[in-house]
Structure 1
Amino acid sequence: MKNIMLLGFLLLAWGSAHSQGSNAVGVVYGVGPDGAKTPLPGASVVWLGTTKGVTSDAKGTFKLPQSKVGKKLVVSFVGYRNDTVAVSSSSKPMEVLLNEAGVAMEGVTVRARTGGSFISKLNPVKVEVITQSGLQKLACCNLAESFENSASVTVGYSDAVTGAKQVEMLGLAGIYSQMLEENISLMRGVPAAYGLGAVPGSWMQSIQVSKGASSVVNGYESITGQVNVEYKKPESTDPLFVNLYGDSDSRFELNVDGGGKLNERWSAMGLVHLSGNFAEKDHNSDGFMDMPLARQANLFGRLNYMGEKLESRTGFKYLRDERTGGQLGFGLADKGSSAIWGTHIANESFSVFNKTGIPFAGKPYQSIGVVTSFTHYNQDGFFGLRNYDAQQNSAYANFLFQSIIGNTNHKYVAGVSFSYDDIRTDLDSRSFDKREVVPGIFAQYTYSLGEKLNVIVGARGDHSSRYGWLFTPRLHLKYAIMPSLSLRASAGKGFHSPNPLSENLGVLASSREVTFLEDIGMERAWNYGINLTKEFKLWGGRPASISVDYYRTDFQNQLVVDMERDASHVYFYNLAGKSYSNSFQVDLRAEPLERFEVYLAYRFNDVKQTINGVLEDKPLVGKYRALANLSYATRFDKWKFDFTAQLNGRSKLPDMSGFPEKYRMGDYSPVYPMLFAQVTKKFRTVDLYVGVENILDYRQMHAIVGADAPFGPYFDSSIIWGPLMGRKIYGGLRWTISRN
């Protein structure tokens, strides 16, 4: 690692000595009918005639390395008319004004289609952006269902009775991936179990997925990657959007959101989500509901202020989620009965966050930022005769200062952070409480040599009240071997503060006794990765790209969840030996015909962990996943056709030699396919969509061990390797009242 870091600093020194040219720097503003100007975050800024560009930051600011092929920029933003502007030789930041789409202008209307996903080109970190168009290729009821068209992220069930889902990246559980909402922590601790189902799909504007260790600005976590959700923004949203959804498993949803500008500086938005599963389903005839009966109410309010000397974004969220599962006919009145097995979980949370930026007049590259958040989360429930309650209060603050050294080729950000977690957990008569206070300090330097070289070097130091000092170095590099071929590399250390019960809640839906063999330490790991991305042209000059990457994760300490030592216990203890993950992936994106998109991917995982003194394949991790997504749209997107095929490789199953013969599942799960299809018809203000999930009706038939004796010693619903729900037919509509 020392050699890698030394190489990074040498590259920076070489780049500084050979820096040439300057950057196009400016701010993108949206101009409303009243002439008021509003900075536009996320605006696209591209050199005319090329694919080289950037997106503006939260303040509408952009910095783009000079191009050798032109001196004009094409600037665009959803809801505004595109503009082409000339770049002068002046060093003064330019100001780009985009008129709203409804404003009458001379000229032509430029239409462009947004692909389902793309790789950010200038970012030194490989970031896959799943666009709103990509999110709508499937029903995408919530965040857990947003990755069926992504090979980088896999989502599976934690158990067969609660409906809880969990993410997997690089072959490792989602707790090692940092989950963020607009770069603020989303799911840590108690919310981890059901958090994926608490982010409605219609609220999301995009999802950004990056592999490996991420920026130190957002903390010391992110061992295997980062998933950041961007929500719809008040200043660019439609006045009203309604989404109705229903499926053959009696799940129904209502989503309503809308907002806009209140005046020149203020904008607001409200989002409402109501959903539920209203009927018992038992497709595999084991006497248990395939999915729990559920009710969810989810509210989100946003208020933005965009002034000349201060910019502020505030959000308020409330969630109430209840789910009741178990044997058919179970109701809350049966709680405590040994005649029928059931489970009930009630999640309730309130959170508030604020992001405030103070720009420096005449210096668009310099600003002060303050990010704060507070979350209260309460979880009450039971699993059979086992009672479980948890409560968490979390506070977070991040203070940042960013500027340049000499010119915009040399940028830096530095700051301090503070996090506080108070978690109280009760399992029957035992308490598992945790309080952790972590102040930290960080600095990150970014060097850019035009489009040729980008390097990020960062480090942070944190002090945990439970685990002591944590030092986190990270390095990211992007080098353009040629204009169409880029190399990215990364290396860094990451940590995870474990919450054994809330992060492994599925084991409570069993007869196993929970046993801690020792105090659990901080999880620590190094991650290294390399990526090659090649862009090329197909027949007719149509764009295509291929990306190949490899990542390795080495754990220095890890929480081991041992379900193999015997059938009656689950043991928690620290790693004593090796634990690592090797992940290889190749992706192909192409548009072989006009409006016909093809995405092909293959991922292979080699994940091993020392369990009970033996280094073996980590249980319930699929060896590989092959994915194909085909999308076609008619002119003006009047009709859209989407088809997805997955082939999921086998995974090692836990050793079940301690179970009776009739309950054993074997050594490995089978290879299985999954097919999805959707058709969307677009009208002027309404989109109608119908689709089918799991077309082949493939299911893990014996998902619950000991389903015939749920109060017996061998009951276990946590050994899940495949889909629990069979074929599902769904339909819905999206109704939009736009500004124009």
Structure 2
Amino acid sequence: MKIFCTLLILFLTIIFAHAQSTKGIIQGKISAGNQPIPFANITLENTQIGNTSDEKGIFELKNIEVGNYRLLISAVGYELYKANVVVKAEETIRLKVQLKESQLNLDEVVVTGTMKETFIKDSPVKVEVITQKFLQTNPTNNVIEAVQTVNGVQEQINCGVCATNDIHINGMEGPYTLVLIDGMPIVSSLATVYGFNGIPTALVDRIEIIKGPSSTLYGTEAVGGVINIITTKPSKMPIINFNIFYTTHRELNTDLAVTPRISDKITTTFSANYYRNQYRLDKNEDNFTDVPLTERLSLFNKWVFERKHNRQASVAARYYTENRFGGTLQWEPEHRGSSQIYGESIRTNRFELIGTYQLPINRQNLRIDYSYNRHLQDSYYGHTYYKAAQSVYFANLVWDKSFQNHDLLVGSTFRYQSYEDNSAADTDDKRFVPGIFIQDEWKFRPGSSLLTGVRLDHHQKHGFIVSPRINLKQSLGEYTTARLNVGTGFRVVNLFTEDHAALTGARTVVIENDLQPEASYNATLNLNQGYTFGESAGSVDVDIFYTYFTNKIIPDYDTDPNYIFYDNLEGFGISRGIAFNVQHTFLFPLRLNAGATLQDVYEMKKDALGNRLKERQVFTPRLSGTFVVGYQFKKANISVDYTGRVMGPQRLPVFENRPTQSPWYSIQNVQITKEWKKAFQLYGGIKNIWNFTQDSPLINWQTPFDPSFDTAYAWGPLQTRRLYLGMRWNIR
């Protein structure tokens, strides 16, 4: 018996020791030269194990099963680091990692194209990225102004009084672009009118942009493209981050973020943005404010929880309130709703909740992504009262599984939207849209992959809608990659909440028939060529795109100047073109990013005799371009950034005594930044250097309460040249 007990104890000791010894640790410090690299991303390939380096560049990966792994370390601006590591029982691997500065923008991690983390160069879907560092080269008070620095992306002002705006991608209007925050469809329908302006750039880690339909993953509204605004993780934030700038137009923008160090398992950040502009400008002498007076406050809080086995869990909330006015110079707040003194007064309150939770199921990557937003608008357009409320509940249940050469993604989507207003549209609209999607990425050989997917949504009014897509990525050499994307898109229209022309001005809105969902068919061919020239490097991108629309809903401004007629197009619509972009980093500290887009966007309509006529889309230039040039004086820690865009002629709505085509113009900006030890920056610059603005965007501004008054003639910038001065300060 004694021998038996001894053997049993020995056996249990061996088992216990083995159980304790199946784990290992990887530790290290990440540097570039003598400088530590904070907030680098460290992952073990094909696992859920990962972490970020701290402010001293130090990282640790714990509880790693014994085995062979491939260690990946990435940081914005640096080449991807790869190393094979062998994890042994109860051993700690200690590494000293040196990163090299990246001259090609291909090693950044993106998620929008496939809903899974991947590197830009490995993504079967082309994704363009705007980093926080790039946003600082031309500071703005909202995201919508920042994204138009991307070639083929255009900000369009839809109302010359209250300055509502949207984003056109490859010539397609704003409602065709889906805007996500952390992958959730937060900005949609009613919120597209003003909600986009309320997103401050300070809380943005990066902005990912896809041109072309992505309805397979994201559903309705993702017809023209997707803009995914990814907020900064608290672990990447300094303890205090402060930014403020002021312009000669008396615009004040302030950002403050506080990130307390709570524990190793829990991180959080609190941020606030305040923007104020109360200066009445009237450069074009039409007795109306050139830009609206605005006072805006945005509050944001994000929590990230570190859980067992590196499972995801985060939640974020944002509150946004804005008071906006545009109108005659004589207008005062007591004239709100007046039929004598014209003004457009819009008060907006909005709440957002975003989160993700990975379920604790062993060896399965099953997560729930969820969001909720409530948008309230209380407004007067002259004496017309418009009040609207929208609530959107959204949830994604996503299962992700990798096996052999396949990455499988399966998901189920639930979206419930409640909308009501006092306009001529449906005053009480409630929609529940369930959907399922499946996607498989097959890496059939190194550098090549085939992504296939399909989505099925059910709309109570329109029944089932199917959206397939195919994406092929083919490596043609060490620095050459080709991508072919083919897919379909669909869009269910929310007329009054998306087209602001239906609310402003005095035109009568006529809906000709029961509007049907729009459908599109798209193909895009992308070729990316990287190159080196001595010790400098660069890349060239060429995109050829083609989209065919059926059932396109178009506003008819031209038949009668007193009416806007809406109907499904009997013919078809086309958006086609070619885009060219080059980025180059020279041996000396000079960088260049420039691109141009040549596009043809039109509808084929029938005239009174039944003949088909080609009609170009309004506010869409045939040729446009963007450029960014940056130079750094390293010894003095001074950088100079020169940014701009060029816009070709655009077809304009037909109004008496007004041109039907806009001229060429260019908006250019310059900024100088001085930095002290990466903790304090002083910056200043000039926006709209050449002081170009269009004439009055208003038709018959002398009689704003007359049916002939119209606000939809804004084709160019309305704000004149201005100087600005700002500072950034952080404590780590």
Distance 1:245 1:95 in 2: 51
Deviation at 1:431, TM superposition (A): 4.8
Selected match of 1:511 from 500, 506, 513 = 506
Three-state SS of the structure 2 residue aligned to 1:149 is coil
Distance of aligned partners of 1:271 and 1:93 in 2 relative to their CA distance in 1, 3 Å threshold = farther
Deviation at 1:608, TM superposition (A): 0.5
Kindly indicate whether residue 419 of structure 2 is the aligned counterpart of residue 423 of structure 1. yes
Counterpart position of 2:648:
649
Partner letter of residue 581 of structure 1?
Answer: S
Selected match of 2:375 from 349, 374, 377 = 377
Q: Deviations over 1:624-646 (max 9, x none)?
A: 11222110112278111011232
Counterpart position of 1:531:
526
Once the two structures are superposed, the pairs formed by residues 264-343 of structure 1 within 5 Å of their partners are 264-309=264-309, 310-343=311-344
Counterpart position of 1:391:
389
Distance of aligned partners of 1:30 and 1:355 in 2 relative to their CA distance in 1, 3 Å threshold = farther
Counterpart position of 1:193:
193
Counterpart position of 1:178:
178
Q: Deviations over 1:182-229 (max 9, x none)?
A: 111121111000122111011111111111123733334421211111
Distance 1:350 1:367 in 2: 30
Three-state SS of the structure 2 residue aligned to 1:330 is coil
Selected match of 2:599 from 590, 600, 605 = 605
Distance 1:343 1:702 in 2: 17
Distance of aligned partners of 1:532 and 1:263 in 2 relative to their CA distance in 1, 3 Å threshold = same
Kindly indicate whether residue 462 of structure 2 is the aligned counterpart of residue 461 of structure 1. no
Counterpart position of 2:248:
248
Counterpart position of 1:673:
666
Deviation at 1:89, TM superposition (A): 8.0
Three-state SS of the structure 2 residue aligned to 1:402 is strand
Kindly indicate whether residue 476 of structure 2 is the aligned counterpart of residue 477 of structure 1. no
Counterpart position of 1:349:
350
Equivalent residues of 1:533, 1:546 under 8 A apart:
yes
Deviation at 1:440, TM superposition (A): 0.8
After superposition, the CA RMSD in angstroms is 3.1
Distance 2:378 2:623 in 1: 37
Equivalent residues of 2:698, 2:713 under 8 A apart:
yes
Three-state SS of the structure 1 residue aligned to 2:498 is helix
Kindly indicate whether residue 487 of structure 2 is the aligned counterpart of residue 486 of structure 1. no
Q: Pick which of 621-630 and 542-551 moved more.
A: 621-630
Q: Deviations over 1:38-71 (max 9, x none)?
A: xx9972779xxxxxxx99989659xxxxxxxxx9
Distance 2:419 2:658 in 1: 36
Distance of aligned partners of 1:630 and 1:267 in 2 relative to their CA distance in 1, 3 Å threshold = same
Deviation at 1:486, TM superposition (A): 0.7
Equivalent residues of 1:354, 1:373 under 8 A apart:
yes
Counterpart position of 1:157:
157
Deviation at 1:602, TM superposition (A): 0.8
Deviation at 1:157, TM superposition (A): 1.1
Distance 2:242 2:703 in 1: 45
Counterpart position of 2:682:
688
Distance 1:466 1:206 in 2: 37
Deviation at 1:677, TM superposition (A): 0.6
Kindly indicate whether residue 432 of structure 2 is the aligned counterpart of residue 437 of structure 1. yes
Deviation at 1:27, TM superposition (A): 11
Counterpart position of 1:218:
218
Counterpart position of 2:7:
none
Equivalent residues of 2:487, 2:522 under 8 A apart:
yes
Distance 1:668 1:495 in 2: 31
Q: Deviations over 1:99-122 (max 9, x none)?
A: 9xxxxxxx7976747988988211
Distance 2:210 2:316 in 1: 25
Distance of aligned partners of 1:113 and 1:473 in 2 relative to their CA distance in 1, 3 Å threshold = closer
Q: Deviations over 1:6-63 (max 9, x none)?
A: xxxxxxxxxxxxxxxxxxxx9998999xxxxxxx9972779xxxxxxx99989659xx
Deviation at 1:594, TM superposition (A): 2.4
Three-state SS of the structure 1 residue aligned to 2:235 is helix
Kindly indicate whether residue 715 of structure 2 is the aligned counterpart of residue 721 of structure 1. yes
Partner letter of residue 693 of structure 1?
Answer: K
Partner letter of residue 421 of structure 1?
Answer: Q
Distance 1:56 1:212 in 2: 31
Kindly indicate whether residue 169 of structure 2 is the aligned counterpart of residue 169 of structure 1. yes
Counterpart position of 1:619:
618
Q: Pick which of 318-327 and 205-214 moved more.
A: 205-214
Distance of aligned partners of 1:57 and 1:381 in 2 relative to their CA distance in 1, 3 Å threshold = farther
Counterpart position of 2:699:
705
What are the ranges of 5 or more consecutive residues in structure 2 without an aligned counterpart?
Answer: 1-23, 31-37, 53-68, 109-119, 608-612
Partner letter of residue 570 of structure 2?
Answer: A
Equivalent residues of 2:42, 2:51 under 8 A apart:
no
TM-score (norm 2): 0.85
Q: Deviations over 1:505-533 (max 9, x none)?
A: 14422121111112222121111100001
Distance 1:96 1:217 in 2: 41
Deviation at 1:563, TM superposition (A): 0.9
Structure 1 or 2, whichever has the larger Rg, is: 2
Partner letter of residue 705 of structure 1?
Answer: I
Distance of aligned partners of 1:296 and 1:512 in 2 relative to their CA distance in 1, 3 Å threshold = same
Equivalent residues of 2:28, 2:97 under 8 A apart:
no
Partner letter of residue 510 of structure 1?
Answer: G
Counterpart position of 2:545:
551
Partner letter of residue 647 of structure 2?
Answer: N
Distance of aligned partners of 1:303 and 1:346 in 2 relative to their CA distance in 1, 3 Å threshold = same
Distance 2:345 2:104 in 1: 41
Distance of aligned partners of 1:679 and 1:111 in 2 relative to their CA distance in 1, 3 Å threshold = farther
Equivalent residues of 2:215, 2:488 under 8 A apart:
no
Partner letter of residue 438 of structure 1?
Answer: V
Partner letter of residue 398 of structure 1?
Answer: N
Distance of aligned partners of 1:336 and 1:352 in 2 relative to their CA distance in 1, 3 Å threshold = closer
Distance 2:563 2:40 in 1: 50
Deviation at 1:595, TM superposition (A): 1.8
Equivalent residues of 2:176, 2:221 under 8 A apart:
yes
Equivalent residues of 1:114, 1:131 under 8 A apart:
no
Distance 2:623 2:26 in 1: 43
Equivalent residues of 1:602, 1:627 under 8 A apart:
yes
Deviation at 1:148, TM superposition (A): 4.2
Partner letter of residue 300 of structure 1?
Answer: F
Counterpart position of 1:233:
233
Distance 2:539 2:530 in 1: 4
Partner letter of residue 559 of structure 1?
Answer: I
Distance 1:627 1:668 in 2: 21
Counterpart position of 2:21:
none
Equivalent residues of 1:116, 1:130 under 8 A apart:
no
Partner letter of residue 620 of structure 1?
Answer: F
Distance 2:92 2:709 in 1: 64
Distance 1:184 1:133 in 2: 24
Three-state SS of the structure 2 residue aligned to 1:501 is helix
Three-state SS of the structure 2 residue aligned to 1:202 is helix
What are the ranges of 5 or more consecutive residues in structure 1 without an aligned counterpart?
Answer: 1-25, 33-39, 47-53, 62-70, 100-106
Counterpart position of 2:55:
none
Three-state SS of the structure 2 residue aligned to 1:601 is strand
Distance 1:531 1:435 in 2: 40
Distance 2:97 2:370 in 1: 44
Equivalent residues of 2:214, 2:489 under 8 A apart:
no
Identity of aligned residues (%): 25
Distance 1:360 1:97 in 2: 29
Q: Deviations over 1:470-502 (max 9, x none)?
A: 101011111001111110010111111211112
Deviation at 1:242, TM superposition (A): 0.5
Deviation at 1:237, TM superposition (A): 1.1
Partner letter of residue 211 of structure 2?
Answer: K
TM-score (norm 1): 0.84
Equivalent residues of 2:697, 2:711 under 8 A apart:
yes
Deviation at 1:610, TM superposition (A): 4.0
Distance 1:686 1:530 in 2: 43
Equivalent residues of 1:31, 1:97 under 8 A apart:
no
Counterpart position of 2:589:
595
